[in-house]
Amino acid sequence: MANKILSPRFITSASKLLECPSADCIEIAILGRSNVGKSSFINLFLGKNGLAKSSSTPGKTQLINFFGAEYIDESKTLAFKIVDLPGFGYAKVSKGQKREWDKNLVEFLSQRNSIKLFLHLIDSRHTDLENDKSVADFLKGFIRGDQSILQIYTKADKLKNQEKMRFLSRNQILASTNLSEPKITPLAEVRKIVIDKALEG
């Protein structure tokens, strides 16, 4: 039996820890620089177009968005949440407002014990950007022993087949919203890797 995602749904948005829903199941946090394709990846992963909305101004929305679903395969059924974190970079706000956002985000990530996996989305065309190095350093500052980090490379449809093979030969996860795109990591495999990694904690 192939794996499935059941009952994908939006739960709520929060700007700080006190506004967040109850931590009653495993949570998978998704982060990356603005414009990396987080909303598209969430819709792809959960199998529901339009569930996660893209902001018309990259980096402007600084809410934490929660989505719920159930994962089912031949051996288990698992309730989980996707936690969509604000994008890094691009935000046209004051330094004071940015400091407040950063404070709320660090408080949330360091105290939300239900987060077991961080998915760091990276644009497959630009794998060496300072913003992505900052994300990695940011996570290493507080990650716990029961948490993992997994990198997923997005926008594979923008690559040539030879470029895609370089990612796949290194066992890196290469994702595209076009499911018929050749030489990418199949969606069912992406889901299995992510869920299994989240359960390791």
What are the φ/ψ torsions at residue 152 (nearest 5 degrees)?
-125, 130
CA distance 121 to 59: 15
Chain position carrying tokens 């600084």: 62
Looking from the CA of 73 toward its CB, the CA atoms found within 13 Å total: 10
Q: Write out pLDDT tens, residues 30-47.
A: 998 888 999 999 999 999
Q: Write out pLDDT tens, residues 130-151.
A: 888 888 888 888 888 999 999 9
**Residue 76: CATH number of its domain:** 3.40.50.300
Report which of 148, 151, 150, 158 is spatially closest to residue 181, judged by C-alpha positions: 158
CA distance 50 to 70: 18
> Exposure string (b/e) for 148-171, b if CB count within 10 Å is 16 or more?
bbebbbbbbeebeeeebeebeeee
Q: Which domain holds residue 66?
A: 4-199
The number of distinct structural domains making up the chain is 1
Q: 62 and 86 in contact (C-beta within 8 Å)?
A: yes
Q: 5 and 187 in contact (C-beta within 8 Å)?
A: no
CA distance 81 to 140: 22
Rg (CA), the chain: 16
Residue 16 CA, chain-centre distance (Å), reads 18
Q: What is the pLDDT of residue 103?
A: 76
CA distance 145 to 116: 10
Q: Write out pLDDT tens, residues 171-189.
A: 999 999 888 889 999 999 9
Report which of 168, 150, 174 is spatially closest to residue 30, judged by C-alpha positions: 150
**Per-residue pLDDT tens listing for the chain (201 residues):** 689 999 999 999 998 888 999 999 999 999 988 889 999 999 999 999 999 987 655 555 578 999 999 999 998 999 999 999 887 765 555 666 667 667 777 888 888 999 999 999 999 999 988 888 888 888 888 888 999 999 999 999 999 999 999 999 999 999 998 888 899 999 999 999 999 999 986
Sign of CA dihedral 80, 50, 56, 127: positive
What DSSP element (H or E) covers 138? helix 130-140
